[in-house]
């Protein structure tokens, strides 16, 4: 990732991609205290546009607030940095990664002179789990790793350190021949994937876990809005793994994963064992909205030009 042409926004300036470096004593590298976002820009009807830019920037600032990290820039500056990162790299569509980290001003947990630094990188990134899986659906397994508890890492923040848990769960799932993990919370109820929110459909009603341990996903919020507009009932409730086994449909949502159908959990086929009809409708609506093909939600798109 580091050896390529292009530019990265780094503390207010565009620097060459290869020069966007930090010292090995970077505090966040040692202790994981940092916050970040994952944002996408799409080639939309009105030109390349960032989807729900303000919601992502708001969550980044909220994450920093939760972690008590002082933000050296305003939300407007970070919005502009994201637009510039896409534009100045000449990208038609992009994955955008803003990240806030502590520098090498001090070492040790007690360092009290730390400064928050912000980078915004953007690059091309296609379907997170492959184009084919958007149609066919993925095979997942309940993880042996429990999702975070609010009093352990705080689950409303998208923080660097919390992704250790995601990586452990994902690596385990992949080693068992699956595409993704389904993590349960400390009570044993379904929480989320390693980088996605979870939904299931039963008897025409859409269910998703409450947000006690899962990240407040922007795609989740988008899908709930689109489902309501399409006349579906969406209920937030505690979901057990065996309810998922007997669901008619299930899918994950996320900026990277978009709307990814789930065809199998723990070697049990979900519904027909392929993308379900309601999943297909919501997925199509999602792709229409992010590409600016739907007149209703043009306000969710910010052009980069
Ligand atoms: N949960 C986790 C753990 C995630 O990493 C993500 C991706 N940011 C999501 C859910 C989905 O969030 P969003 O739709 O905002 O990308």
Last residue of a domain, one of 107, 123, 139: 123
Could you tell me the two tokens for 103?
């520098």
Same domain, 13 and 147: no
Same domain, 228 and 98: no
Same domain, 84 and 143: no
- Write down the pLDDT at residue 42: 98
Contact 113, 236 (CB under 8 A): no
Question: Residue ranges of the chain with pLDDT lower than 70?
Answer: none
Indicate whether 254 belongs to any domain.
yes
DSSP conformation class of 227? H
Last residue of a domain, one of 96, 123, 150: 123
Known catalytic residue at 115: no
Neighbouring-strand partners of residue 119: 10, 99
Candidate list 58, 92, 158, 237, residue with the active-site label: 158
12 Cβ contact partners less than 8 Å away, ≥ 6 residues apart: 73, 77
pLDDT (tens digit per residue) in 142-176: 999 999 999 999 999 999 999 999 999 999 999 99
Indicate whether 63 belongs to any domain.
yes
- Write down the pLDDT at residue 45: 92
| Binding site membership of 276 for ligand 1 (Cβ less than 6 Å) | no
Distance from the CA of 46 to the center of ligand 1, in angstroms?
26
The ligand 1 atom at the shortest distance from the C-alpha of residue 162 is 3
Helices within the chain (DSSP H only): 27-31, 53-66, 75-88, 131-136, 163-175, 218-229, 241-245, 277-290
- Write down the pLDDT at residue 94: 98
| Binding site membership of 195 for ligand 1 (Cβ less than 6 Å) | yes
Last residue of a domain, one of 123, 149, 174: 123
Same domain, 209 and 68: no
CATH of the domain at 244: 3.20.10.10
Same domain, 154 and 245: yes
Same domain, 26 and 106: yes
DSSP conformation class of 160? G
- Cα radius of gyration (the chain): 19
Q: Across the chain, what does the average pLDDT equal?
A: 97
pLDDT (tens digit per residue) in 119-138: 999 999 988 999 999 999 99
Same domain, 109 and 138: no
Same domain, 156 and 283: yes
- Write down the pLDDT at residue 261: 98
Total domains, the chain = 2
Q: Which residue range(s) make up the domain with 192?
A: 131-290
- Write down the pLDDT at residue 179: 98
Distance from the CA of 172 to the center of ligand 1, in angstroms?
19
Distance from the CA of 305 to the center of ligand 1, in angstroms?
27
Q: CA distances (Å), 164 to each of 85, 90, 168, 171, 241, in order? A: 27, 32, 6, 11, 23
- Write down the pLDDT at residue 105: 98
Same domain, 15 and 41: yes
CATH of the domain at 97: 3.30.470.10
Indicate whether 296 belongs to any domain.
no
Pocket test for ligand 1, best of 58, 125, 181, 215 (most atoms within 8 A of CB): 215
Could you tell me the two tokens for 235?
């209920």
Indicate whether 300 belongs to any domain.
no
């Amino acid at each position: 990732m580091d050896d390529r042409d292009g530019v990265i926004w780094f503390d207010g300036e565009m620097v060459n991609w290869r020069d966007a470096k930090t010292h090995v004593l970077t505090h966040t590298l040692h202790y994981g205290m940092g916050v970040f976002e994952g944002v996408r820009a799409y080639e939309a009807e009105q030109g390349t546009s960032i989807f729900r830019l303000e919601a992502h920037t708001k969550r980044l600032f909220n994450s920093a607030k939760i972690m008590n990290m002082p933000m050296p820039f305003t939300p407007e500056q970070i919005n502009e940095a994201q637009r510039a990162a896409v534009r100045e790299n000449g990208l038609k569509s992009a994955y955008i990664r803003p990240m806030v980290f502590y520098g090498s001003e001090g070492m040790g947990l007690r360092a009290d002179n730390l400064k928050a630094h912000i980078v915004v990188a953007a690059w091309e990134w296609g379907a997170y789990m492959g184009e084919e899986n958007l149609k066919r659906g993925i095979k997942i397994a309940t993880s042996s790793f429990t999702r975070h508890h609010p009093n352990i890492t705080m689950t409303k923040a998208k923080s660097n350190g919390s992704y250790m848990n995601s990586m452990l769960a994902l690596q385990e799932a992949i080693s068992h021949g699956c595409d993704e993990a389904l993590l349960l919370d400390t009570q044993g109820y379904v929480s989320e994937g390693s980088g996605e929110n979870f939904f299931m459909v039963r008897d025409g009603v859409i269910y998703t876990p409450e947000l006690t341990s899962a990240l407040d996903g922007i795609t989740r919020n988008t899908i709930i809005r689109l489902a309501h507009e399409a006349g579906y009932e969406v209920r937030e409730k505690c979901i057990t793994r065996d309810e998922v086994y007997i669901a008619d449909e299930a899918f994950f949502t996320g900026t990277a994963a978009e709307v990814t159908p789930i065809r199998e959990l723990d070697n049990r086929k979900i519904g027909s064992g392929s993308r379900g009809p309601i999943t297909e409708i919501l997925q199509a609506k999602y792709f229409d909205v992010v590409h600016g093909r739907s007149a209703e939600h043009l306000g969710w798109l910010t052009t980069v030009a």
